[in-house]
Structure 1
């Protein structure tokens, strides 16, 4: 029967959190060669490499990320034991690391995470960044899932998969006005002040194509790549704002904004990007299944 050497596990845990052998050796007052020998023994006992060398850096493998999660749990449990016996009870929790584009609707993100939010046994770690940055972290096992509004291109060298979660209508919205006549689209947009997503957005590209084919040029008063800011601007300006309905769902329900026109054939898509893993985080499947069971709340 194999037994886990917890001393070796503690050394690995220190290397991982210190970011390499040099700093870990200094902290532990050991030589790097001695530390490497102990790490090799742990890898041999587990049957998996825990680090791979990229240049001068040690990067956790998938097995290394799993081992680190368990090591965090093991040593947290030891700290909890001391806390409990010292009259300071604590609880162990599983961790789900989620990355999301800053342009993604906060309402959508909250709906995706709601099944896990506030659970005593779960910790959510949320990160934002560019799609490139988040996918690098996903492949390095530093994230478990990435939320995006575009599918990731597949090729023979990629083990990333994009799960389409939902499609949401895109509308032109504005503040309510008693004299507002029904909007004729796209002709009424000629010379009309509008607030649009940035040029990097897929819905902006689709919207621009529609207007270009119709020969219509609106007056662009703002271009915004952050959906939270787009929502605020829509509430504060008299211009029409092009936005996925879910972004301003609360304002539409409260009557602060009204939908002036729902743009046909233009939708915002939401994807969960995951990596094929030998040791998947079970919380990913749990949150995906919960989202599939819950009707997607978009426009009212």
Structure 2
């Protein structure tokens, strides 16, 4: 009879890409996992991995085993959700990972429609780096990941990227800075103090290309993975900062800043990433439909 614990260890190694990373995730020693996988291979009569340099690659048998393991553990996860103590049998669990580069206000607007379903929803929301969220999605610990980029194919994670929408970028600053740099935008940004998203944000590359194409050389005074922190520095008058156009009014009201200028040449995109090719989870469907029908209908490319 198949040993499901051994299969689970193998599955985690396949998703993590290495025994060491899987061991860290499972809080086990690499030797324990390696030994269990060896026993599984002996029981199945097939090698599941082959070593290529320092990397492990799945054999044909390993790829087949992963495909079946995906289904087995997804069913097991659904059973666990149904029987989880403390959760009403009428509740729909909705486990979401939000990339830390996605503005919290955008994340709220995207997820809020899921809370208005007729069926009661319990939202379990995690914020983390995209790589870790994709790993959790791969082992079905998440129903959805909200990200600013599609799922990279090189990760080897079985998932599907569903575009939610896109919008232009608007630059904001405290009234004094906005008045100083508004005239002549965008070339007025040359020499201006600028706060920008960190290198992990998908919009960072397009922003830098836009500066280069227009020969704009701002004075970058801060880089932030957390967009809320970037806006807090902007609120304090440290520099000008960009934000999605769909958040322009809210940003101006909440942080006491004014519009400096906008551009449709730099676009912020958002994606819902799931293990489903065709969205069926009611909450995920609600998120996708609301984003396309309301949230991203209006863009603001005007300078």
TM-score (norm 1): 0.66
Query: What are the residue-to-residue correspondences of 1:57-76 with 2, within 5 Å?
Result: 61-74=70-83, 76=85
Checking the alignment, whether the CA contact within 8 Å between 1:174 and 1:234 is kept in structure 2 is: yes
Matches within 5 A, 1:39-118: 61-74=70-83, 76=85, 92-117=90-115
1:143 is matched with which residue? 142
TM-score normalised by the chain length of structure 2: 0.65
Aligned residue for 1:265? 265
- CA spacing shift, 1:121–1:60, aligned 2, 3 Å: farther
1:125 aligned to 2:124? yes
User: Root-mean-square deviation (CA), in Å?
Assistant: 4.0
Change (3 A) 1:179 1:191: closer
- 1: distance between equivalents of 2:263 and 2:296? 19
| 1:99 and 1:146 in contact (8 A); partners too | yes
Measured after TM superposition, the shift of residue 195 of structure 1 is 1.0
Q: Does 1:183 align with 2:192?
A: no
Corresponding position of 1:219: 219
User: Does 103-112 or 118-127 show the bigger shift?
Assistant: 118-127
More deviation, 110-119/128-137: 110-119
Cα deviation 1:191-238 (Å, max 9, x = unaligned): 211111123333222222232344432221111111111221221115
Distance in 2 (CA, whole Å) between partners of 1:249 and 1:272 is 24
| Residue 100 of structure 1, CA deviation | 1.2
SS of equivalent residue, structure 2 residue 100: coil
Residues 1:254 and 1:280: Cα distance change in structure 2 (over 3 Å): closer
- The number of aligned residues is 242
Structure 1 residue runs of 5 or longer lacking an equivalent are: 1-11, 20-52, 54-58, 81-89
Any idea what the Cα deviations from partners look like across 1:7-43, whole Å, max 9, x if unmatched?
xxxxx9xxx9xx9xxxxxxxxxxxxxxxxxxxxxxxx
Asked if the contact 1:197–1:243 (Cα under 8 Å) also holds between the matched residues in 2, the reply is no
Alpha carbons of 1:298 and 1:107: their partners in 2 closer, same or farther (altered >3 Å)? farther
How big is the shift at 1:110? 0.7
The residue matched to 1:185 in structure 2 has which SS?
Answer: coil
Which of 1 and 2 has greater Rg?
1
Aligned to 1:276: 276
Report if aligned partners of 1:112, 1:291 keep a CA contact under 8 Å in 2: yes
- Find the aligned partners of 1:175 and 1:165 in 2 and give their Cα distance: 31
